Amino acid sequence: MDSLGKARQLGQRLASGGEGEIFALRGRADVIVKWYYPEVLEKRGELLHRKVEAMRELRDSQTTQDVCWPLIRVFDHQHRWIGFAMYRAQGVKMGCLAHTLLYARHFPNLDRRQIVGYLLRYIEIVQQLHRAGICIGDYNLNNVFCVPRSDSVTLIDCDSYQLRVGGTFYPCPVGSPDMTPKEHQGKAFRDIVRTPRSEAFSLAIVLFKCLMLGRHPYDIVGGGDPVRNLRRGNFAYGRGQRSVPQGDWYALWQALPNEVQEHFITTFIDGADNPGQRTTLSQWHEALTAYREQLESGECRRELIVASGKVGGRAQSVR
C-alpha cells in the first residue's frame, strides 16, 4: 500500500540483496519498490524508517534525477512500514563496464573517451551529494548504472548513505573493506564517520577499476589480499612497477596520461596513510576533463586495446 492507503500490486522480484528485495510495481514500469526483509525490519526497522523519512525531506530535483532516492513510503496490509518506492535506474552496472571480459557484451564499441565521460558524470553526482552533506560510504561498482552509448549515470542503493538532517546523524552502516581507506579498517561500519578524504580514497578505487578494466589497485603478485595491501599502501604501479599482476595490466596503466597516473600513485601510496595527500574530487574532475580533451584531440588513444592487442581484443572472442 502507498502512503495514501491505496493498495498497489507488486510485480516481479528484480533483485535480492543483504537487507531486502527489489520489486517492480505493476502499472508503473519506471518505479520500483524496496522491501526490507522481516528480520531486518524487526531488528532496526524503526531506525531505517526514520532515516528514509529524513532522506525524503532532503530530496531535491537533482537528487531524484541522478540518484534513486526514496520517494514514497510503502506499507503492508496491516499498515506497517516495510520500505519505499523510487525511480528505476536505466542502464548497466558499472561492474560490467570495468571488466575485460564483460564490457564488449554490455557496452559495444566502448572506448576510453566514453569511460572518462561516465567517470566525470559520476564525480559530479558525488560532488553534488557532498554539497548536501551526504557521503556515499559504501562504494560499489554494482551500485552505479551507466547507459550504453550515452553519458548518463545513475546511483542506486542510496538508503545506506551517510547523512545529517536536523542535527541527527545517520551513519552508513555497510561497506566493504576492499573499498575502505586504512583509517576506517577494522571498525564497525555503523561507527565510522565518513569524510571527504575517506570518500576521495574510495572514489579513486572506482576510477582505477574503470580505467583499468576491472583490476583492483591493490591486486599484487605474491602479496596478501587487497585489504592487507591497502593497509600497507602496497600499490604495484608507478614507482618501480613491482608485483604488477601478470598480463597486459601494466600496458593499460601506461596508456593513462602522466597526470592521472600521478594522482593514483599519490592517493594509493602516500594517501594510504595520510588522508591529506589524497587527490580530491575537484582535482580528479580537473585531471579527467583534461584527459577527455586529450582523447578528443587525438593526443591520447581512445581504443581500449593495448600494444599486444590482448586485453580488450580478447573480449570479442569469449562467449
Partner 1 sequence: MATYRLNRDSDLIDNPSPRCACMLVLDTSASMFGEPMRELNAGVQSFIAAIQEDDMAACSVELGVITAGGHVTEQLPFTTAMNISQCRQFTASGMTPLGEAMELALDRLDARTAAYRQAGVAYYQPWLVVISDGVPTDAWERVAARSRALAQQRKTVVIPVGVEEADLEALSAFSSRPAKRLDGLKFREFFQWLSASMSRVSASASTTEQVRLPPTDSWDSI
Cα–Cα distance, 9 to 7 (Å, whole number): 7
Nearer to partner 1, 64 or 233 (CB): 233
- Listing DSSP states for 140-200 in one string gives -GGGEEE-TTS--EEE--GGG-BEEETTEEE------GGGS-GGGTTS-GGG----HHHHH
Q: Which three cell numbers stand for residue 50?
A: 526514520
One-letter amino acid for residue 38 of the chain: P
Residues 112-151 binding partner 1 (CB under 8 A) are: 139-142
Cα–Cα distance, 198 to 17 (Å, whole number): 25
- Residue count of the chain, please give it: 319
Sole binder of partner 1 in the list 10, 54, 58, 101 (CB under 8 A): 101
How near is the Cβ of 229 to partner 1 at its closest, in Å?
9
Nearer to partner 1, 85 or 211 (CB): 211
- Is position 238 an interface residue for partner 1 (rule: CB under 8 A)? no
Helix (H) or strand (E) holding 95: helix 94-97
How near is the Cβ of 131 to partner 1 at its closest, in Å?
25
Spatial contact of 198 and 184, defined as CB atoms under 8 Å apart? yes
Site string for partner 1, 40-79 (x = CB under 8 A): ----------------------------------------
- Is position 227 an interface residue for partner 1 (rule: CB under 8 A)? yes
- Is position 253 an interface residue for partner 1 (rule: CB under 8 A)? no
Task: Provide the CB-side half-sphere exposure for 202 (13 A, CA).
Answer: 25
Sole binder of partner 1 in the list 171, 181, 214, 271 (CB under 8 A): 214
How near is the Cβ of 308 to partner 1 at its closest, in Å?
11
Cα–Cα distance, 95 to 319 (Å, whole number): 18
Residues 159-198 binding partner 1 (CB under 8 A) are: 176-179
Binding site for partner 1 (CB under 8 A): 16, 18, 95-96, 99-102, 105-106, 139-142, 176-179, 212-216, 219-223, 225-227, 236, 243-247, 310-311, 314, 318-319
